[in-house]
Amino acid sequence: MFKFALKNMAIKKAKIILIIISIVISACVGILAYNISEQVDSGFKSTAAYYDMIIGPSGSSTQLAMNTMFFTEKPLGTISYEYVENLQKDTRVNKVVPFTMGDSYNGAKIVGTSPDFLEGKSVKKGCLYKEKFECVIGSAVAEKYGLDIGSTLVTSHGLTAGGHAHEGNPLTVVGILSKTKTAYDNVIFTPCETVWATHDHGGEDEESHEEDTTHEDENTKSGHTEDEHHEESDNHDHESEDADHGEGEETHGDHGEVCAILVKSKSFNAYSQLSAEYGENSKLLVINPSEVLREVLENVDMSTQIVYILCLIILIMNIFIISVITLLNMYDSKKEIALMRLIGIGMNKINLVYIIQNSIIGFISTILAFVFSRICLMLMGGYVASMGIVLDVAKIYPLEIAIMAVVFVISVLPTIICTLNMSKKDGINE
């Protein structure tokens, strides 16, 4: 009976292909909608659960949360490092983590922070950074650019590729994080001192270049001789070196600024007090990341509900289409059924052929829907990674299996109902 069902499917392959395409589209959309919504929801909750307060410059709460939690958006600006020092001395605080951002490596964002920021993340190779200009890279960064322990990275100014290169201050890779399936895989981490030193060095280079250019222009306009020009340049260089040396001694040990401060308070009362105190400062923005991301998730949930409604509509249309096609197939098969009845094949066996046939269609369709949903997740992964969302292709939820089971039943049910009705009648008389 199984072989006969396959031969019967081969004869009507055009109609069979249409049925399979219909089922695959509806099932794939349903699986994708649920999988993505669950991964985004769980990713947001797990990331926001650790810190109960983020302090940054005044501006958008969502932008501050997304920048510090998922490394998306641009920083709101900078605030003084004194706030970090004050919080570190505060007895109501368990942990204080500075956060700064402004450079990149071929588009991969560089985050300046303390090693505490990577707490809970395992290091696959090497160790966490301890010194300035050392860095730990995410697994995706290591794979994409072929980096390993000891590799040097020439960073560039700005959060996208193409900025001014900081060739004088390359970073050295001392550690590679294990794959986390989160936004951490796409980021490079280094001490805040690295970011401050890199920007200070870049600023001195630019200032020196401008001074040299201006000096040469003045020499040209005033008609100085070449010897006078060299002598003045030498004097200028000595003065610049002395000034730079003196400036370096003066600012040695000083801290720069940070884009945000992540805080973990000791209790809810401590959080309330700290939030009220720092919230009074008009220059600062104090947020609870869980609350902010919950608002974001509400918008995502609304979009997901719309997708679910569309999926339900597609499934209902799919049931209707499959039922109509099944009835048409059964109508076209009347002569075949009558012929099989003439040669002595029982109606139960005839019905079994068509049930087997549609079961094969349903099984193939659901498997293809699952495969295509994973292909879509892979294709979407690179795009959504830039928004701080990492999709795990291997992540399978029980409800996805349930959706596939429902789709399979829907694809077979009309045939069962139709064949049961036919069993009550004589195929020859019809």
Q: pLDDT, tens digit, for every residue of 218-264?
A: 444 444 444 444 444 444 444 444 434 333 333 334 578 899 999 99
What is the pLDDT, as a whole number, of residue 290? 80
Mean pLDDT score of the chain: 76
pLDDT, tens digit (0-9, with 9 covering 90-100), for 175-197:
999 988 778 888 999 999 998 98
Phi and psi at residue 400, to the nearest 5°: -65, -40
- The Cα-based distances of 392 to 277, 331, 381 in angstroms read 40, 46, 8
Per-residue pLDDT, 309: 75
pLDDT, greater one: 85 or 422: 85
Instruction: Give the Cα separation of 143 and 137 in Å (integer).
Output: 10
Q: What is the model's pLDDT at position 216?
A: 42
- Give the pLDDT confidence score for residue 244 in this predicted structure: 41
Q: What is the mean pLDDT of residues 284-313?
A: 74
More confident residue, 223 or 174: 174
User: What interhelical angle do 289-332 and 398-423 show, nearest 10?
Assistant: 20
Would you state the pLDDT for residue 162?
61
Q: How confident is the model at residue 48 (pLDDT cuts 50, 70, 90)?
A: low
Q: What is the pLDDT confidence band of residue 45, given thresholds at 50, 70 and 90?
A: low
Inform me whether the pLDDT recorded for 30 exceeds 70: yes
Residue 415 has pLDDT above 90, yes or no: no
**Predicted local distance difference test score (pLDDT) of residue 302:** 63
Asked if the model's pLDDT at residue 100 lies above 70, the reply is yes
Residue pLDDT, tens place only, 15-27: 788 878 878 887 8
Render pLDDT for 105-144 as a digit per residue (tens, 0 to 9).
888 899 999 999 998 888 999 999 999 899 999 998 999 8
Which tops the pLDDT comparison, 366 or 328? 366
Lowest-confidence range among 228-242, 263-277, 356-370?
228-242
Does 428 have pLDDT greater than 50?
Answer: no
Give me the pLDDT at residue 247, please.
Answer: 38
Q: Mean pLDDT over residues 8-36, rounded?
A: 79
Of 36 and 329, which is predicted with more confidence? Answer: 36
Tell me which of 353 and 267 has the higher pLDDT: 267
